[in-house]
Amino acid sequence: MTKKHVDAIVVGAGWAGSILAKELTEAGLSVVMLERGSERATAVEGAYPESIDELRGAIRKRLFQNLSQTTVTVRNTIDQTALPYRQLAAFLPGEGVGGAGLHWSGVHFRVSPEDLRLRSSVVERYGDKFIPEGMNLQDYGVTYSELEPFFDKAEKVFGTSGEAYKVNGKIVGNGNIFDGDRSDNFPLPAMKDTFTASTFRAAATEAGYHPYSLPAANASRQYTNPYGCQMGPCNFCGYCSGYDCYLYSKASPNVNVLPALRQDPGFTLISDAHVLRVDLDDTRSKATGVTYLETKTQKEVSLSADLVILSAFQFHNVHLMLLSGIGKPYDPVSNTGTIGRNFVYQTITSSRIWLPPSKYTNQFIGAGGVGVAIDDFNSMNFDHGPLGFVGGSPVWVNQAGLKPIAAAIGTGGGGTPRWGSAYKGALIDTYKHSIGVDAHGSNMAYRDVYLDLDPTWKDAYGQPLLRMTFTWKDNDIRMNQYVVSKIEPIAKAMGATKANLVHLNAGQPFDTRHYQTTHLGGGAIMGTDPQTSALNRYLQSWDVSNVFVIGSNAFPQGMGYNPTGMVAALAYWAAYHIRTTYLKSPGPLVQA
């Protein structure tokens, strides 16, 4: 049954959805936002001290997707049977109002300018033969200078703390020398270095690298954003990642956008509404609205709209496109179709460095976005010629607040005991005196790594699960090994008593049992060619022009940086072009 008609439907109440809903209501549209999870308010979920509970938070995964309702299946290669991802482990999508933007850490990067034109950049420097067989290396179709105003806007909305290197071509501070130029400084000064971060900063400098403060959407001071939303100063409590910040210091849709949006009479948020599909007309080139299930009443509701924004989590966007018949599903054998193509992840390993027993690293003190990083081995910042791989990794100390259960479960292994008295001794030493160092790297796209619908397993609503075909490839394993080897001189300069440098091994398959990162990407990518991208450069579906798909699904390859800043900038970029061009004359913004 069709209940009513609105100007725009926004699917998913995370960062991308909240930004689009804000922009579209500002443009005078009536907007309904549908969120499959429940309503979440910091005053409730974030209330101290109940929120400061590791078991309930990060361990039992209170803010994350409930897999009992829907999940994905995973396999490494095309000839395997994919099996359901039954327990949350390798990646942790969010659920409920705020989405993954409520439980994220707060590392708020822009993008390395050359990552947006990575194929062109690699070909210009090394020739097209440098690109390995089977790698779908592509440009985004948008440049850094085009996106810069939107990165700037997102930082001001998020209340981001950081130190710039260059503003309007002028060196202004001790920021990242590899950054693109900025039109303005960060809205807040950088967060303080923890002891581990300042140790890393000094050692990285001594090793000849160029350390900088991670840009953090954790407020270093009290802040009021352009929407009038307020943040309090971060006190380094360490409960960012996996938690709802009780101090209103970590940016989230719930704190930084929704309080303003909820006051707009043109805006309606419906929670506990699981979107089943986007409804298309007979030509399959126009969306007429969406059909969703009220999960509390199990009633199906159809809602009609002129414009549909898909802004769910990366793979849910791809899943909805496949379930709705938007565009042509990707087929890796014939190498045709675009929906599910260029599914990517990130190549991340965590190493550990031990300081002498006189030094206490107090790892429980921290914030999700703070730390010190080097970009000397990220993106195109170093010579790949003799190395023969594409991509790179920032390397950083990002002390987000290591809590005891996570530390205890993670200690041991690799030949050291995982239980008993020797294990306890190692756990205490590691907790008190060690430093975690991550290589947080890129992941390239490949012809046989993709998303499609699973032939066997279904979700609680009777729809086929999304199937992931993914494994680590030689290019990315060698990149990871190279970058991790660069941590050694840093460890030495720190005065390490011991270091455990962790890298991927040749042939190692992707393992779903251990947390790696929630930074999944691609599957419905942006680009300049409808044969090789699902979306045009404004994140508009090539096939159904009144559907825009906003999220890290648009990334043609996984970058070394955390994705949220890029997602927010793309959201503002798409919204700007919807407002200034599309709404005046609805239709394709780029002719296919």
Judged by CB under 8 A, the stretch of 27-35, 65-73, 100-108, 127-135 that binds another protein is: 65-73
User: Is residue 87 at the binding interface for another protein, with CB under 8 A as the rule?
Assistant: yes
Q: Is 68 in the site for another protein (CB under 8 A)?
A: yes
CA 437 to chain centre: 19
Cα 436 to chain centroid distance, Å, stands at 21
Which structure tokens are listed for 439? 């290589």
- Tell me which residues in 344-363 interact with another protein (CB under 8 A): 355, 358-362
> Quick one: which segment of 22-30, 104-112, 335-343, 413-421 binds another protein (CB under 8 A)?
413-421
* Subset of 393-412 contacting another protein (CB under 8 A): 403-405, 407-409
Rounded Cα–Cα distance for residues 20 and 16 (Å): 6
296 is an interface residue for another protein by CB under 8 A: no
**How near is the Cβ of 248 to another protein at its closest, in Å?**
14
Q: Closest CB to another protein among 93 and 527?
A: 93
DSSP state of 58: I
Binding to another protein (CB under 8 A): which residues in 109-128?
none
Give the closest residue to 564 by CA, choosing from 507, 512, 521.
Answer: 521
Distance in Å, CB of 362 to another protein, minimum: 5
Strand partners, 33: 10, 269
In the complex, least distance from residue 471 CB atom to another protein, rounded to whole angstroms: 9
Nearer to another protein, 39 or 54 (CB): 54
What are the CA-CA distances from residue 69 to residues 61, 457, 462 (Å)? 15, 12, 10
Q: What is the 3-state secondary structure (H, E, C) of 317-339?
A: HHHHHHHHCCCCECECCCCECCE
Q: How far, in Å, CA of 589 to CA of 567, rounded?
A: 20
Of the pair 67, 167, the CB lying nearest another protein is at 67
Query: Does 67 sit near another protein (CB under 8 A)?
Result: yes
Q: Is 47 in the site for another protein (CB under 8 A)?
A: yes
Q: Least distance from C-beta 465 to another protein, angstroms?
A: 9
Contact 9, 548 (CB under 8 A): no
Of 414, 513, 585, 591, which one interacts with another protein (CB under 8 A)?
513
User: Which segment (49-57, 253-261, 473-481, 524-532) binds another protein by CB under 8 A?
Assistant: 49-57
Restricting to residues 537-556, name those near another protein by CB under 8 A.
none
Task: State which of residues 126, 156, 189, 195 lies at the interface with another protein (CB under 8 A).
Answer: 195
The yes or no reply on residue 238 touching another protein (CB under 8 A) is yes
Task: Identify which of residues 48 and 580 has a Cβ nearer to another protein in the complex.
Answer: 48
Check residue 585 for interaction with another protein (CB under 8 A). Answer: no
Closest CA to 432 of 352, 353, 357: 357
Residues annotated as catalytic (active site), given as ranges: 519
Report, in Å, the least distance between residue 282 CB and another protein: 34
CB of 156 to another protein, least distance (A): 25
Applying CB under 8 A, what is the total number of residues that bind another protein? 74
> Which residues make Cβ contacts (< 8 Å) with residue 335, sequence separation at least 6?
447
User: 10 Å Cβ neighbour count for 555?
Assistant: 30
Out of 239, 267, 482, 572, the only residue in the binding site for another protein (CB under 8 A) is 239
Q: Binding mask 422-441 vs another protein (x if CB under 8 A, - otherwise)?
A: --xx-xx--xx---------
Q: Which residue has the tokens 């159809």?
A: 302
Q: Is 84 in the site for another protein (CB under 8 A)?
A: yes
* 3-state secondary structure string across 440-499: EECECCECCCEEEEEEEEECCCCCEEEEEECCCCHHHHHHHHHHHHCCHHHHHHCCCCEE
Q: Are 110 and 150 in contact (CB under 8 A)?
A: no
Q: Does 453 bind another protein (CB under 8 A)?
A: no
- Tell me the HSE value of 74 on the side-chain side, using a 13 A CA sphere: 17
* Length, in residues, of the chain: 592
Using CB under 8 A as the binding rule, whether residue 235 contacts another protein is answered as yes
